[in-house]
A and B are shown apart, each in its own frame.
Chain A
Amino acid sequence: MLHIKFPVVSRTHNLENKIDAFHDKMIEAAAVFHRSIKVFLNENSRDEYKSINKKIKTIEHEEDKLRRDIENDLYSQNLLPNLQADILQLIEGLDKINNQIDDVIYKFYIEQPQIPAAFHHKLIELCDQVADCVENMAIASRSFFKDLSIVRDYIHKVYIMEQESDSSYNDLKKAIFKSDMSLANKLQLDLLITEVADIADIAEDCADELLIFTLKRDI
């Protein structure tokens, strides 16, 4: 069968693939983060955590490359001229989430905080909620490009997960400062869980922007 390739069609297809790959990487980052805290809390998995830290760096690096390619393709090929600014803002926002995940995993790796067993359950719960929030944000963003009608559903899920993570964060914070750890340990742990909760906050900001872009895109 004869296949004729039109440059415009293949350019569009190429960019669609890159946008898909970018979102895949984001979901992968959320999954790695989800696993990372369990591995960290397991005393016998130091080497595995080291490889997780390496893996998240690789994902972040690949995501950055995809982000630059997407931005470059959008402007150099003048695709979606009326939405370029919105898409740029959205992709940059998603990149901030990934950077924050990378930062948090690296901080745990470098600082090696002492976390009493009493906090493990709450910390895992917080990280689950944050990872869920990021995953839903990635799906919402992907839907913006593929099926506008379901964007709101996923944005709503982002809001719910962010609220739950806020509540877990507050409980954990109270528990940390009520405990008999040294003040230095309390402050260190507080800073780290704040950084974890920040991931969900950044995702929420992205969801806010995406909601506006979705309304603007209404034909």
Chain B
Amino acid sequence: MFSFWIFLSSGLFLGWSLGANDASNIFGTAVGTKMVKFRTAALISAVFVIIGAVSAGEGAAQTLNDLGSVNAPAGAFMVGLAAALSIYWMTLSKISVSTSQAIVGAIVGWNLYSGKPTDISLFSTIAGTWIFCPILSAILAVIIYQLARFIITRAKISLLKQDFYTRVGLILAGAFGAYALGANNIANVMGVFIPSNPLQPLTFPGGFRLTSEQVLFLLGALAIAVGIVTYSGNVMQTVGRNICLMSPLAAWVVVVAQSLVLFLFASKGLHLFLEEHGLPGIPLVPVSSSQAVIGAVIGIGLLKGGHGINWNLIRRIFIGWVATPVIAAAVCFISLFFLENVFNQTVYH
């Protein structure tokens, strides 16, 4: 059990860095433009990330397990660490990096090392969502933006009332965004530890019960929450300053579009509903919140005539789509070799 906690540390670290970085996608503009205080933003995102992860994290995590069931704690540790290291290096090279892409690459690296087959059709579905995610986010942003613009123009809402509604909207969208981030991205943080999870189900006074998987998600979500509270403040300020040219309403649209995308790719209920009605179900896959944000910003940018869009940023996303999983797979493969042969750890069964 003790060794499990040591091995879990890479996942917790990944959770911390996810909280530190990705919370800024949800509340960055609101905090950076001083529409919402950091304390409020941190509290709301921490609480809703935990709720989302524990109550709805299962779907996307299942997909990652189907891709590669990392059945030894040491193997899961290295998958998490390889993903974290790849993210670190890619961030240094200023290439748009996604935790989801890194973890998928690392799982494929583990599959290659352990000789387990990789489900190519599932991998294609996952890779397809990476491309689809920012495009869908852009489409949603354009629709919501047009709708909001129409309502505000028709309703003739005064400037100060608009400011008040935008603040409320940013907080509500932030809470939803944090919930969706927890539900969608907990798979990146804790997904690989599910097959080797030794944790017991937890029953709270009053009969509220968490399954062993949910207890694992709760730990991961707490790590994300710690990341949000301890380190996301600076990132939020930076994000807010970088896109402060955007009006608060456009910022709200970006958060809503991004949150909807994350929610769509995490909602088991919606997935089942679509399948029941003979429609193609949206795959439950962890997607990148940063890329969803970029997609939404570009969507609004294109709607406004396409001036001032940073095409260099889009080029970096394309590089990231290919480079992140490849680097993570290579790092994981090499590290597993060392972990098994130098440190004598069982990395697969």
Chain A binding site: helix, strand, loop or mixed by DSSP?
helix
- Name the contact of B34 in the complex, choosing from A78, A149, A219 (C-beta under 8 A): A78
Complex CA–CA separation, A149 to B167 (angstroms) = 23
Is the CB–CB distance between A219 and B149 below 8 Å? yes
Known: A149-B153, A219-B148. A79 touches B160 (CB 8 A): yes
Interface pair B247/A219, CB less than 8 Å apart: yes
A22 at the interface (CB under 8 A from B): no
A217 neighbours in B (Cβ, 8 Å): 159, 247
Give the distance to chain B from A140, nearest Cβ to Cβ, in Å. Answer: 14
**B152: chain A residues within 8 A (beta carbon):** 219
Interface residues on A, range: 20 to 34
Cβ proximity bits B267-283 to A, threshold 8 Å, 1 near / 0 not? 00000000000000000
**Shortest CB–CB separation between residue B217 and chain A, in angstroms?**
35
Chain A residue contacts of B250, Cβ below 8 A: 219
Confirm or deny: A15 has a beta carbon within 8 angstroms of a beta carbon on chain B.
yes
Among candidates A12, A82, A145, A218, residue contacting B244 with C-beta atoms closer than 8 Å: A82
A12 touches B163 (CB 8 A): yes
Q: A149-B153, A219-B149 are in contact. Are A80 and B249 (CB under 8 A)?
A: no
Which A-B residue pairs are the 3 nearest by beta carbons? A81-B34, A145-B159, A219-B249
Q: B residues within 8 Å of A by Cβ?
A: 33-35, 148-149, 152-153, 156, 158-161, 163-164, 167, 244, 247-250
Q: CB within 8 Å of B: which residues of A?
A: 8-9, 12, 15-16, 19, 78-83, 144-147, 149, 217-219
Since A147-B158, A149-B156 are in contact, a sample of 7 more A-B pairs with Cβ atoms closer than 8 Å, ordered by chain A residue number, is A12-B163, A82-B248, A145-B158, A145-B159, A217-B159, A219-B247, A219-B250
Between-chain CB contacts (< 8 Å), 22 pairs = A8-B164, A8-B167, A9-B164, A15-B160, A16-B161, A80-B160, A80-B163, A81-B34, A81-B35, A82-B33, A82-B244, A82-B247, A83-B159, A146-B156, A146-B158, A146-B159, A149-B153, A149-B156, A217-B247, A218-B247, A219-B152, A219-B247
